[in-house]
Amino acid sequence: MSQPFKYILLAIFIIFTSCKVQRLKTFDYDEPVDTSTKTIQYQQKKTYKLGNVYADNLFDGARMNNFEKLNDSVFRVTILPENEPINASPHYAFNIWSDSLKSIFLQLNYPTAKHRYWPKYSVDDKSWFRLDSSNVGLSKVDSIVELKIKLSSKKLKIAAQEIKTSGYVRSWAKKQLNNVDVKYITIGKSKLNRDLIMLEIGSGSPKNKEVILLFSRQHPPEVTGYLALESFVEQLLKDNHLSRDFRKKYRILVFPLLNPDGVDLGHWRHNAGGIDLNRDWAYYRQPETKIIANYIIDYVNKNANDVILGIDFHSTFNDLFYTLKDDLRSKLYPFKDYWLSGIDKYFPDYSPNDIPGSLGTFTKGWYYNQFNAASITYEIGDETPRDFISEKAEVAAREMMKLLIFKNSDKD
């Protein structure tokens, strides 16, 4: 064998052994509840007129399945899920108004679930307020909650959480293009042909850089988790030394809205296929999970990247972090211990609630099984004060950057 040919073979060997080609993996878990055969029950979009009182669900993100008059002063809104079985997170959102000034009692009726979200209201679709507790009556049965409200000719929007539609998220994402280190990319379409969007954050070439994945809004009503993602990303885009150096060293792929159909349809939990997307990260049965997973795999293969960390932003009853048990050691272990410790030290009256757990068909399992990446589900309470959501997310982003900016710094 000639010398030049030996060198060619050696070069080929080095290329193929130094590059880890990722292939999308499926995983063998106990099959979760499969609702794919349960038909989606679409709400009828309409304006209801009961005497001189009106209600409608004619906007994206609305949820109201019926509106009834029980007597002259008591009205009832019925809220039903898109299909079942389903996590009991009854989302509601509707407009209500009257021809003249009028005080009424309004019942929220959940025939198949229990009340979860404290009522909010808005008169301009921008500023949101919690309904005062003196005007909220919890009945003896959790399936009915009674509100005391004052109506006028101006539409009053009542909702479980602030309304953040797919249009709102796209608008926020495009605003981030003011930073030269951001690319806005439509990577595919949802089941009902809505855009699946991504922000690619980083300066310089993406080649050979380690990657952080940020996900949000798999479950439509989980707005507080999405608000945390906004503040987290905006901190990464600050014009300061830490953020600029972090963007030079890493690539961050942000998927701010995984379930645009469910969000705009006012779903409690599922996508337009009737599936909880966060139970599909071992099977990729839905277009949203399949498109996003394959896009990430193709991206890291094209650029010889290594995914080291994935954070998925959600909402639940209280702030907490779902992490991996210590026997599941990612390539970034023990990152989460130092990260949560840094967040803890910043807040004198708050300590992160770390709940280590096993893997499953959700993104926490996928980040780890697919990439051996550190994996965290960042949960925000439904009623966590919005200013604290923002402050904690900013601190969390800074602490992450500080930890990772010095990772392998001796090799840079």
Instruction: Give the pLDDT of the chain (412 residues) as one tens digit per residue.
Output: 554 444 333 333 333 334 468 899 888 776 666 777 789 999 999 999 999 999 999 999 999 999 999 999 999 999 999 999 999 999 999 999 999 999 999 999 999 999 999 999 999 999 999 999 999 997 656 678 999 999 999 999 999 999 999 999 999 999 999 999 999 999 999 999 999 999 999 999 999 999 999 999 999 999 999 999 999 999 999 999 999 999 999 999 999 999 999 999 999 999 999 999 999 999 999 999 999 999 999 999 999 999 999 999 999 999 999 999 999 999 999 999 999 999 999 999 999 999 999 898 899 999 999 999 999 999 999 999 999 999 999 999 999 999 999 887 655 4
Is 39 part of any domain? no
Do 92 and 52 belong together in one domain?
Answer: yes
Instruction: Report the side by side order of strands in the sheet with 320-324.
Output: 182-189, 195-201, 250-255, 210-216, 306-316, 374-381, 320-324, 354-357
Do 150 and 120 belong together in one domain?
Answer: yes
Do 219 and 149 belong together in one domain?
Answer: no
Q: What tokens does 370 get?
A: 């697919």
For position 6, what pLDDT does the model report? 41
Q: Of 124, 159, 194, which marks where a domain is finished? A: 159
Contact 288, 277 (CB under 8 A): yes
Backbone Cα Rg of the chain: 24
d(CA 13, CA 17): 6
Is 397 part of any domain? yes
Is 18 part of any domain? no
User: Between vectors from CA 54 to CA 67 and to CA 152, what angle results, nearest 5°?
Assistant: 130
Q: What is the 3-state secondary structure (H, E, C) of 264-332?
A: HHCCCCCCCCCCCHHHCCCCCCCHHHHHHHHHHHHHHHHHCCEEEEEEEEEEECCCEEEEECCCCCCCC
Beta-bridge partner residues of 69? 75
Do 307 and 228 belong together in one domain?
Answer: yes
Domain that holds residue 104: 47-159
Do 246 and 130 belong together in one domain?
Answer: no
Is 1 part of any domain? no
CATH of the domain at 70: 2.60.40.3120
Do 173 and 123 belong together in one domain?
Answer: no
d(CA 271, CA 191): 8
Do 59 and 193 belong together in one domain?
Answer: no
Is 129 part of any domain? yes
Is 267 part of any domain? yes
- Whether pTM > 0.85 for this model: the answer is yes
CATH of the domain at 228: 3.40.630.10
Do 325 and 295 belong together in one domain?
Answer: yes
Is 317 part of any domain? yes
Do 59 and 169 belong together in one domain?
Answer: no
Do 130 and 252 belong together in one domain?
Answer: no
Contact 80, 111 (CB under 8 A): yes
For position 65, what pLDDT does the model report? 98
Is 277 part of any domain? yes
Residue 101: CB atoms within 10 Å = 9
Do 216 and 314 belong together in one domain?
Answer: yes
Q: Of 159, 187, 221, which marks where a domain is finished? A: 159
Per the structure, the count of domains in the chain is 2
Q: Of 159, 190, 215, which marks where a domain is finished? A: 159
- In single-letter form, the type of residue at position 88 comes to A
- In single-letter form, the type of residue at position 77 comes to V
Do 106 and 195 belong together in one domain?
Answer: no
For position 12, what pLDDT does the model report? 36
Residue with tokens 């890291």: 300
